[in-house]
Amino acid sequence: MKTRNACFLLLAALVVVAALPLSAQVVWDNGPINGQTDAWTINEGYIISDSFNISTPNTTLNSLSFGAWILPGDVVTSVGVLITSQPMFGTIYYNQQIGITQSGCFTNNYGFNVCTETGSFSGPNLAQGTYWLNLENATVSNGDPVYWDENSGIGCQSQGCPSQACEGNCESSIPSEAFTLLGTSSGTGTVPEPASLALVGGGFFAVVETLRRRLHL
């Protein structure tokens, strides 16, 4: 079993690396996919916000990788990416629906497929500071829910990690989620080195009727 899991992780990493620009560096790494604890809805009108830090001046974001829990057989095709100065609000630096490539899926203890979702985009140029990645409007062909994997930032590699996170109107915080941002920089600072270039892990469970926003397992 351990050998098979290791093969899944290696395959996911190779697929993600092949899809990313050769010049991309890891800008923010909030740790690998957990896949066994919980996940939060990023479609059906729900939005989840996670913070990230830019440590190098003049950094341009161009790639995103995150962990998703989905129903067996579903394929995520796109996701809404909103980058702001505050969770869901404040200055908007980027707001687009981007195409997604799905890889490295496996089934977790609850029966969900947990997959690495990767997308490239022409993102904003950001100064040093703290920003928020907001994910919403994730799409699958049949309209099923899509959940962002909760990992609490365990295993994160970036300066100042883990991310802070919230959902809904952000009146209360939640544990942060599994994601990696890549980009290029013309600044003189140091871009954090990744522990790995791909998020790993995850799974999926049989459909529970009460699953709407957060999975209560």
**pLDDT given for residue 158 in this prediction:** 95
**pLDDT given for residue 21 in this prediction:** 45
**pLDDT given for residue 214 in this prediction:** 57
Give whole-number Cα distances, 94 to 29, 81, 84, 133, in Å.
Answer: 19, 7, 7, 10
Return d(Cα 212, Cα 66) in angstroms, integer: 20
Rg (CA), the chain: 16
Both tokens of residue 124?
């904003």
**pLDDT given for residue 203 in this prediction:** 36
- Report, as ranges of residue numbers, the positions in the chain whose pLDDT lies below 70: 1-23, 187-217
Return d(Cα 75, Cα 117) in angstroms, integer: 9
Closest CA to 175 of 186, 162, 185: 162
Give whole-number Cα distances, 172 to 2, 38, 163, 215, in Å.
Answer: 37, 17, 15, 17
**pLDDT given for residue 213 in this prediction:** 52
pLDDT tens digits along 153-183:
999 999 999 999 999 888 889 999 999 999 9
